[in-house]
A and B are shown apart, each in its own frame.
Chain A
Amino acid sequence: MLLSGGARDMKRVLLSLAWLITAAVVLFTAYAGYVLLSYRRIPDNQMLGVSGSAAGTLETGAAYALVSWNVGFGAYSSDYSFFMDGGEHARALSKDAVLENTAAAARRLQALDPDFALLQEVDWDSDRSYHVDQRALFEGSLPGRAAAYAVNYDSAYLFYPPSEPIGRSRAGILTLSRARIAGAVRRSLPVETGFSKFLDLDRCYSVSRIPVAGGRELCLYNLHLSAYTTDGLIAVAQLRMLLDRISEGRADLADLDRLEQLSLMVKRTSLCGLGQNAPNPILSTLRYFREEYLAHVTDRTCPAGVCSFCRVLADRAADGSGAAGGAAAAGTGAGTAVERDAAESAAVENDGVEEVAVA
């Protein structure tokens, strides 16, 4: 009797254990499915809405103050430690702590009173920062400034670390400027590939273009690189993209001359027929499309809407047909279908911007 009773108990224990394991597997599978299904990347080249009002343009030769600050989603109270840095927490200590830290950061910014503020890790609706809209708090506490906000990542519910899951994170980078922002764009940085892409958050930088007196332009690059990578390869790839894009729009008229001289020299002095013909596409486009080269070099715009540096369309107030013209030119130009779509959606988004500015 005793023996058979023990066996029955054992059976019951084993059965409930099996149920538990099954439930765990089902839950895990369901979560994995959720992560897989909700996997998406924020599209590149998003035009950003510019809110807030700022007057005037910049002068060359004047001094301006700029602050760049990773505000750490308002979590970093003096006794806070982040789990990825070997600390304890994944979320902020409390909603009050987030509100207090964000308000303190805003006060600090008011005291510094910078002409430009580039803020990173600004949440607007995240579990880790108790759904405090930090973007609105910062924008509200620094009035008289134009603001361009780019979503850095908008993640699925991350059940990690299990003791204190980060949950859903929606963070971004915020650029505030006392001078008018003519346009802003969000560029996606490269992230991990392969399986680890499911666990990697989106990263981006934003480019805000601010008119400077005399037809020049100030480009503010607000950047948030990937952190916590083991080999640093992604960070290098991200920096490379940034450098390439910055240098993209930096040619001047002397470079154009140099290009023409070099092409002529190679064409005239080459021994081989391939060398004699290689510069011909450059020379003929210089002859027949010189105004397009000049638009890139002097106005930093791309009439065909192909080059990325000019996706932020120049001063729409000065030229109301700028965006529409860009889209139309792309439709007849040599750009691929993808690039045309990008240019057209850029135009649509930019219309939205104007409405916000008017309102």
Chain B
Amino acid sequence: MSMRTLTIDGVEVVGTEGQSVLDVARANGIPIPTLCHLDGLPDVGSCRLCVVEVQPSGRLVPACMLPVEEGLEVVANSETLHAHRRQIIELLFTERNHVCAVCVANNDCELQDRAQELGITHLDLCPVSPKLGVDASHELFAVDHNRCILCMRCVRVCAEIEGARTWGVKGRGIESRVITDFDGPWGESKTCTGCGKCVQVCPTGALFEKGTAAAEVGRREFLPYLTTMREETP
């Protein structure tokens, strides 16, 4: 295994051939935020959150897709990069309906975490607020396209780990959607094994297990007892 020496944020670090700049930065405690990256899955660089500046050209490349090279020099944290990252998160928020207060993944959401880490308190741009569907035809799971950020983790885990290749992406740009099989209802998918890996890797509330949302858990079953407990006993 051949070693490569490179500089990240002025710090000289060492990586091995085949590693990405992101891997090396993480191993050396240099923070780079990510959203679509997940250890164990092949990277696609779709969320653009981990972009770093390659010196001396200043070109922006996602760290997860940038292989280490001898003498490579990158800037991973600067005011400009942080501004870009905040705008990327803001655009993700405006593109669909990310209202945390009414989301099944509230407080368990990577998009929410990244927004908080980057100090996003409000949106400067008007949300698009599309009216996208929810497919709840599957026995165990449901997909809410309003929450999807198109990170393609579900697509990758289904293809690379489960080997079912149920998930795919249709459309371009703002029209893009994740689909099951040939864009049929998830519940009628011939290839889905019901393993639930896609639900586990989803960073937001787009894919979720049925019966886990607050409205479905039914913790309010206690309420009728409030009156029966106060009834006078003869």
Contact = CB atoms under 8 A, between A and B. Distances in A.
Interface of A: 258, 261-262, 265, 268-271
B88 interface: yes
Interface in B68-109: 83-84, 87-88
10 contacts: A258-B125, A262-B125, A265-B83, A268-B60, A268-B84, A269-B51, A269-B84, A271-B45, A271-B46, A271-B48
B124 A258 contact: yes
Which among A258, A265, A271 has the greatest number of chain B C-beta atoms within 10 A? A265
B48 A270 contact: yes
Given A258-B124, A269-B88, 14 more contacts: A258-B125, A261-B83, A261-B87, A262-B87, A262-B125, A265-B84, A268-B51, A268-B60, A268-B84, A269-B48, A269-B51, A269-B84, A271-B45, A271-B62
A269 B124 CA distance: 19
Main secondary structure of the interface of A (DSSP, over half): helix
A268 B87 CA distance: 12
B59 to A, nearest CB: 8
Nearest to A268: B60
Nearest to B65: A271
Nearest to B44: A271
Nearest to A267: B60
Nearest to B51: A269
Interface in B120-176: 124-125
Contacts of A269: 48, 51, 60, 84, 88
A222 B124 CA distance: 31
A270 B46 CA distance: 9
A261 B87 CA distance: 9
Which of A258, A261, A262, A271 has the largest count of B CB atoms less than 10 A from its CB?
Answer: A271
A293 B19 CA distance: 46
Contacts of B84: 265, 268-269
A265 B88 contact: yes
Contacts of B45: 271
Secondary structure type dominating chain B contacts: mixed
Interface in B23-64: 45-46, 48, 51, 60, 62
A269 B46 CA distance: 10
Contacts of B83: 261, 265
Nearest to B58: A268
Contacts of A261: 83, 87
A243 to B, nearest CB: 13
Contacts of A268: 51, 60, 84
A247 to B, nearest CB: 10
Contacts of A262: 87, 125
The 5 closest A-B pairs by CB, nearest first: A269-B48, A265-B87, A268-B60, A265-B84, A269-B51
A258 B123 CA distance: 12
A269 B63 CA distance: 12
B24 to A, nearest CB: 21
Contacts of A271: 45-46, 48, 62
B53 to A, nearest CB: 9
- Which of A262, A269, A270 is the most central at the interface, judged by chain B CB atoms within 10 Å of its CB? A269
A276 B33 CA distance: 22
Contacts of A270: 48
A352 to B, nearest CB: 40
A262 B83 CA distance: 10
Contacts of B87: 261-262, 265
A85 B217 CA distance: 52
Nearest to B86: A265
A265 B48 CA distance: 11
Contacts of B124: 258
A268 B75 CA distance: 15
A76 B88 CA distance: 59
A261 to B, nearest CB: 7
Contacts of B60: 268-269
A268 B51 CA distance: 9
A54 to B, nearest CB: 37
Contacts of B48: 269-271
A330 B46 CA distance: 44
A258 B48 CA distance: 19
A174 to B, nearest CB: 35
A258 B124 CA distance: 9
Nearest to A274: B173
A292 to B, nearest CB: 23
Contacts of B125: 258, 262
A28 B176 CA distance: 57
Nearest to B49: A269
B44 to A, nearest CB: 9
B5 to A, nearest CB: 27
Nearest to B90: A262
A257 to B, nearest CB: 10
A261 B48 CA distance: 16
A317 B136 CA distance: 66
Contacts of B62: 271
B149 to A, nearest CB: 14
Contacts of B51: 268-269
A268 B88 CA distance: 11
A265 B88 CA distance: 8
Interface string B163-205: 0000000000000000000000000000000000000000000
